[in-house]
Amino acid sequence: MPTLLRAIGDLGFENPMPVQEQVIPELLGDNRDLVALAQTGTGKTAAFGLPLLQLIDTSSTEPQALVLAPTRELCLQIAGDLADFAKYTSDIRIIPVYGGSSIESQIRALRAGAQIIVATPGRLIDLIGRGVVSLAGVRTVVLDEADEMLNMGFVDSINDILDHVPDDRKMLLFSATMPAEVARIAKRYMRDPKEIVVGTRNEGAANVRHIYYMVQARDKYATLKRVADYNPSIYAIIFCRTRRDTQEIADALIHDGYNADALHGDLSQQQRDLTMRKFRDRVTRLLVATDVAARGLDVDDLTHVINYGLPDDTAVYTHRSGRTGRAGKTGISVAIIHSREKGRLREIERIIGKTFEHKDVPTPERIIEKQLYSLADRLERVAVNDDEIDKYVAGVEKKLSWLSTRDFLKRVLSLEFNRLLDYYKDAPAIENISDRPDKKARREAPATPRDKDRRTADRGMARIYVNAGKNDGFYAGNLIDLLNHTVQGQRVDVGRIDLMPGYSLFDVRKADAARVVGSLKGADFLGKRLYSEIADPDKDYARAATRRSKTAGADTPRPEKKRKHKK
C-alpha cells in the first residue's frame, strides 16, 4: 500500500528487521495462526502492525483487529506506532483502551467506530461487560508480550476475551520466551500455528553484553554508584525486587546527587506518567523500578539495565535485559550480586545461552580518570558560536591572565569534579568476591580464631548476637524477615551472617546497630523470647549456648529437691 510505504519512509525505515522479514509475508499470506518468539525491541510492532493496516476494510467501522498488551504504557506505545504507520491512510481509526484513564471518554471513542482496538485485558473485559465492545467482527487477534501478560495474572482475562472472538479468526502470539502457560494458550486457541523464532528460544538479546559484579551484600549500593559513575553517559533502568527497595534506593541516589526516580505500584497513575515523561525526556537518567511497574515500558537507547540482585524467574531476567540493545543497537545488562546468587547466575546463563563476564568493581582512580576523559571529549565536541562568544572572551581572558594553562585546566576540572573527588577521597575499599576461589589455598591456610568463632565484624560494620540458631529453626531468611518486621525506620542492610546451632551472629552497619539490638530484644520467634546484644569478641557464645541447653527444663517444671538441714 503506497500510503504505508510513504509513512514508514518518513519514519526512517530502510531495510526490514529479521522478525519483520519473517512475519509480514506470513500475515499477508495464508490464514494460518502464528507464534513468533522474539525479544523486546526487535521491531515486532511493525511486523504485525503493517499487515493489520494493509488488511483493514475501511468501508466498515466495526472492530476488525484486536491487539492485547500487558500494560498501559505498551498499549499507548503500540497505538501510537500504528497511528504513525497509518497517518497517510484515511478512514482507519485506532483506539487504545486501558485502565487508569476515563472509561467514559473511551466509550465515546468506541461508539464513534474503530477498526483496530489496542487494549489491556482488564479494561477490555470491563467494556465487554458493559456491552460497549463487540468482538464478533474481529478477524485478527494479536497477543503482544504474551509471557508478561501471563506473569501479571491475566490468563483468565485472556481466556474470557478469546471466548468472545469468532472461531475462524487469525491469531498471532508474540513472546520473548515460551513458558508452559504461553504454550497452553497456543494449544487451546490456535490452530496448528507456525512458529517463527528470531534467534534461539528463550535466549537473551543478541546485542546485549552481560556482566556481573560479585560483592558483599553490604557493598551492593556502593557498587551501584560506582557503576553509574564509571559510565558518564549512563541512561539506565535499575531493577529491584520490592517496592520498598525501589523507593529507598531511588531516594538514596537522589540524596547522593544523581538524576534518579522511582517507579513502582504504590505510585498513582499521574505520578507514574510524570516519572516516565521525565525519564523518556532524559531529565531522569536512572529509573529505579520493580518488574511489575516496568513491564511494557518502551524506551529507546538505554545504555544499561542494572539488576540489583537477580530475579527468581529466568524469563524476568530475559525481559529486563531486553530493555537495552534494541533495534540493532548494543546495550549492557549488569548484575550486582553476592556469592549466594552465583548458582542462580549460572542457571540463567544456561537457559539464555549467554556467558556473563565477571568484572571487578571500578576503583576510584579508574572512575575519576574515566570522568575526566569524558569531560575532555565533551569540550572537544562542544559547538562554539564564535560571533557571540568572542564578545566576552577578551574580558574573561584578561581576568584570568595570571593563570597558567595548567592552573586553568585544574580549576575547570575541579569545578566539575569536586563532589566526585571529595566522595572518593576517603571511600572505603569494596571487596571483590573471586569468581573461582582458590580451594587449595583455602584448605592449606592455617585456621585462625576468627575462622573458628567469627565474632569480629567486617570493617565499618557492627557484629550482632541473637540467641536463636539452627536448632531453633532460625535461618537467614527468618532473620531478614524478622528485621523487616521489627526494626522501624530505614531498611537495615545485613552483611555476613553466621548461623550456629544455639545462636547467630550477623553484621549490620555501625549506625544501625543500636536500633537493631533494641528492636530484637524481647521479640518473639516461634514462641522463643529473643535476646540480642552487640557481640563481644572475647565472649564464648558457644559455651553459653551449651549451658543454656543443658539447664533448659521440660515444658513442666521439675519438683524441687528437699534440702536436708543439719540439726
Mean pLDDT for 149-170 is: 83
Task: Give whole-number Cα distances, 196 to 23, 36, 172, in Å.
Answer: 8, 5, 11
- 423-440 pLDDT, tens digit each: 787 777 888 887 655 444
Q: Does 17 share its domain with 165? A: yes
Q: Does 334 share its domain with 239? A: yes
Whether 110 maps to a domain, the answer reads: yes
Query: According to the model, what pLDDT value does residue 40 have?
Result: 60
Q: Does 41 share its domain with 99? A: yes
Whether 338 maps to a domain, the answer reads: yes
pLDDT for 286 beyond 90: yes
Q: Does 384 share its domain with 512? A: no
Residue closest to 34 by CA, chosen among 25, 149, 544: 25
CB burial of residue 520 (10 Å; 0-12, 13-18, 19+): buried
Mean pLDDT for 131-151 is: 85
Query: According to the model, what pLDDT value does residue 388 have?
Result: 86
H or E, element range at 279: helix 269-280
Mean pLDDT for 371-383 is: 80
Spatial strand order in the sheet of 34-37: 94-97, 116-119, 65-68, 140-143, 170-175, 34-37, 194-197
- Check: CB of residue 289 under 8 Å from CB of residue 264: yes
108 or 312: whose pLDDT is higher? 108
The domain total for the chain is 4
d(CA 8, CA 23): 17
Scan for cell 555476613, then name that residue. 496
Mean residue pLDDT of the chain comes to 81
Query: According to the model, what pLDDT value does residue 213 have?
Result: 94
- pTM, to two decimals: 0.55
Query: According to the model, what pLDDT value does residue 555 have?
Result: 36
pLDDT for 522 beyond 80: yes
3-state secondary structure of 94: strand
Whether 567 maps to a domain, the answer reads: no
Q: Does 353 share its domain with 498? A: no
- Pick from 121-130, 173-182, 364-373: least confident: 173-182
Q: Does 45 share its domain with 142? A: yes
- Check: CB of residue 428 under 8 Å from CB of residue 504: no
Whether 524 maps to a domain, the answer reads: yes
Domain-terminating residue out of 322, 346, 361: 361
Q: Does 298 share its domain with 317? A: yes
Mean pLDDT for 536-559 is: 60
Question: What domain range is 523 assigned to?
Answer: 446-550
In this structure, what is the dihedral angle of CA atoms 509, 511, 517, 519, given to the nearest 10 degrees? Answer: -110
- 467-497 pLDDT, tens digit each: 988 888 887 777 887 888 888 887 787 877 8
Query: According to the model, what pLDDT value does residue 152 have?
Result: 67
43 or 140: whose pLDDT is higher? 140
Query: According to the model, what pLDDT value does residue 94 have?
Result: 92
Task: Look up the CATH number of the domain holding residue 348.
Answer: 3.40.50.300
- Check: CB of residue 96 under 8 Å from CB of residue 116: no
